[in-house]
C-alpha cells in the first residue's frame, strides 16, 4: 500500500478542510447546545460532492476511491461528529448499499436525490429488544397481494426524523434468526410510519436520532431490496463498510483532540512556565499522537483493501475497534491537558469526549468487534 496521497486525494482533503472551516466550525458549539445541526448543511454537503463519494457518476455520484471517502470522513469527524454521522449513514450505509445491492429502478429513483443532498437516508436495523443480536429482530413484513405490510419499531435511528427513506430490515418468514430477514426501501412519508426524536443523548447532540414506529405500513413489492430472506447479509455488508467510515470519523476526533491539546499546552502557563514543558503533559500529548497515527493507518488499510476488491470485513472490525477506543482515550487525554477548562463547553475537548463515547457502541460494540475478529481467527462463531 502506497501511503503517499495522490494529487487528487490531497485536493479533496483540502476541499474538506475548507468546508469544515467555513460551514461547520463556526457553528459547532451552537448546534451542540441547541441539540440541532442546521439542516441546510445537507444540501451543502451534497453540492460539494461529499454525499456522492464512491457512488457511480451515472447515478449522480461523485465517484472516487474509498481512501478519498475516508479522508473526507476524517475531516468531517474532526469538525463535528454529528455532521460526519449524517454522511456516514445517508451515503455510507444507505446510498452505497443501494448502489451495490439495489435494482436499476431503486438506483435511478433514490441515488440522484441522496447524492445531491435533496433526500436523506437512514438505516433501520436496531430495535428496542435487539441491538447486538440484530439477527433476532422482530419487525415483520407480510406479503399481501402486490404489497408488503410492515409492523414493528426501530430504535436509535441516526437521521431518523430527517430521513426521506429508511433502509429497513424486517422479518418476512418464520425461519428463526437472520435467515428470515429481508431489506426494504421505505419512504418515510408512507402512512403508518411514525418518528419520535430521542433527546438527552450524551453526545452527537446535534444529530437527529429517532425511534421509528411502523403500524400497517404498506409498500409495493418493488420496495424489496435483493431477494427475500437475504436482508441480513445486505445489512452486514453495509455495516462492514460502515465500520471503516466510523473508524475514519474517530481518527478525526483523535486528530482534533491532538490539535487542541498541543495548542492549549503551548498557551497555558503554570508555575511560571508553559505546561507544554512538563513531561507528564508531553506524555498525554504523545499518547494521543500515537493513537492518531495507529488509528489512521488501520483505517487506510481497510480503504486500500476495499479499493483493491480484497476481503476487508475483519480489517474493518479491527480498525473500528481500535479507532473508537483510541478516540475516547485521545479526547480524555486532551481534556486532562485542558484541566478544568476542558470541562466547559466553550472549549472543544469535552464535546470530543462526549461524541467519541458512542463510537465504541454503534455499528457493533467493541465486544462485538472482538467476537468478529475472534471468529475470523479461530473459525468458531460465538453468535
Q: How many CB atoms lie within 10 A of CB 190?
A: 15
Find the residue with minimal CB distance to ligand FAD: 131
- Binder of ligand FAD out of 139, 209, 317, 369 (CB under 6 A): 209
Burial class for 56, CB neighbours closer than 10 Å (0-12, 13-18, 19+): middle
Of 62 and 158, the one with the shorter C-beta distance to ligand FAD is 158
State the DSSP code for 201: -
Does residue 363 carry a catalytic annotation?
yes
- Binder of ligand FAD out of 89, 185, 276, 284 (CB under 6 A): 89
Pairing of strands 269-270, 273-274: antiparallel
With binding defined as CB under 6 A, does residue 361 bind ligand FAD? yes
In angstroms, rounded to a whole number, what is the distance separating the alpha carbons of residues 132 and 368?
Answer: 7
Residue 188 near residue 113 (C-beta atoms within 8 A): no
**Positive or negative: CA dihedral 215, 216, 217, 223:** positive
* C-alpha angle 213-40-199 in degrees, rounded to nearest 5: 40
With binding defined as CB under 6 A, does residue 158 bind ligand FAD? yes
Of 53 and 358, the one with the shorter C-beta distance to ligand FAD is 358
With binding defined as CB under 6 A, does residue 184 bind ligand FAD? no
With binding defined as CB under 6 A, does residue 374 bind ligand FAD? no
Span of 35-43, 100-108, 213-221, 355-363 interacting with ligand FAD by CB under 6 A: 355-363
Applying the rule CB under 6 A, the residues between 274 and 303 that interact with ligand FAD are: none
**Residues 106-125, mask of contacts with ligand FAD (x by CB under 6 A):** ----------------xxxx
Which grid coordinates are listed for 105?
429502478
The minimum distance between CB 96 and ligand FAD, in angstroms, equals 14
Applying the rule CB under 6 A, the residues between 123 and 152 that interact with ligand FAD are: 123-126, 131-132
The minimum distance between CB 348 and ligand FAD, in angstroms, equals 20
In angstroms, rounded to a whole number, what is the distance separating the alpha carbons of residues 246 and 261?
Answer: 22
Residue 107 near residue 56 (C-beta atoms within 8 A): no
From the list 32, 4, 73, the residue with the least C-alpha distance to 243 is 73
Binding region for ligand FAD (CB under 6 A): 89, 122-126, 131-132, 156-158, 201, 204, 209, 358, 361-363, 365, 367-368, 371
- Catalogue the active-site residues: 363
Amino acid at each position: 500500500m502506497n501511503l503517499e496521497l495522490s494529487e487528487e486525494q490531497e485536493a479533496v482533503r483540502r476541499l474538506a478542510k475548507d468546508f469544515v472551516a467555513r460551514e461547520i466550525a463556526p457553528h459547532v458549539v451552537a448546534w451542540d447546545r441547541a441539540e440541532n445541526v442546521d439542516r441546510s448543511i445537507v444540501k451543502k454537503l451534497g453540492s460539494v460532492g461529499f454525499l456522492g463519494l464512491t457512488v457511480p457518476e451515472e447515478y449522480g455520484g461523485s465517484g472516487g476511491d474509498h481512501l478519498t471517502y475516508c479522508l473526507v470522513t476524517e475531516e468531517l469527524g474532526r469538525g463535528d461528529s454529528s455532521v460526519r454521522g449524517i454522511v456516514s449513514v445517508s451515503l455510507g450505509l444507505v446510498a452505497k448499499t443501494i448502489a451495490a445491492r439495489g435494482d436499476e429502478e431503486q438506483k435511478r429513483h433514490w441515488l440522484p436525490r441522496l447524492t445531491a443532498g435533496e433526500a436523506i437516508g437512514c438505516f433501520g436495523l436496531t430495535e428496542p429488544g435487539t441491538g447486538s443480536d440484530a439477527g433476532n429482530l422482530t419487525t415483520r413484513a407480510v406479503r399481501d397481494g402486490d404489497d408488503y405490510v410492515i409492523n414493528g419499531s426501530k430504535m436509535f435511528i441516526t437521521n431518523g426524523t430527517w430521513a426521506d427513506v429508511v433502509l429497513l430490515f424486517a422479518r418476512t418468514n418464520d425461519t428463526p434468526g437472520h435467515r428470515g430477514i429481508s431489506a426494504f426501501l421505505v419512504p418515510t412519508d408512507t402512512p403508518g410510519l411514525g418518528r419520535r426524536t430521542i433527546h438527552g443523548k450524551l453526545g452527537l447532540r446535534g444529530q437527529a436520532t429517532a425511534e421509528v414506529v411502523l403500524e400497517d405500513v404498506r409498500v409495493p413489492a418493488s420496495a424489496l431490496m435483493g431477494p427475500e430472506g437475504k436482508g441480513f447479509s445486505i445489512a452486514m455488508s453495509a455495516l462492514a463498510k460502515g465500520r471503516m467510515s466510523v473508524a475514519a470519523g474517530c481518527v478525526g476526533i483523535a486528530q482534533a483532540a491532538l490539535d487542541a491539546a498541543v495548542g492549549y499546552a503551548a498557551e497555558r502557563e503554570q508555575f511560571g512556565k508553559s505546561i507544554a514543558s512538563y513531561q507528564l503533559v508531553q506524555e498525554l500529548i504523545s499518547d494521543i499522537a500515537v493513537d492518531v497515527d495507529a488509528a489512521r493507518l488501520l483505517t487506510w488499510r481497510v480503504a486500500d483493501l476495499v479499493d483493491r476488491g480484497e476481503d476487508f470485513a475483519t480489517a474493518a472490525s479491527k480498525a473500528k475497534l481500535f479507532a473508537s477506543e483510541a478516540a475516547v482515550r485521545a479526547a480524555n487525554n486532551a481534556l486532562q491537558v485542558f484541566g478544568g477548562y476542558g470541562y466547559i463547553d466553550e472549549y472543544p475537548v469535552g464535546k470530543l469526549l462526549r461524541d467519541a463515547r458512542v463510537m465504541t457502541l454503534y455499528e457493533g460494540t467493541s465486544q462485538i468487534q472482538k467476537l468478529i475478529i475472534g471468529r475470523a481467527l479461530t473459525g468458531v462463531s460465538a453468535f
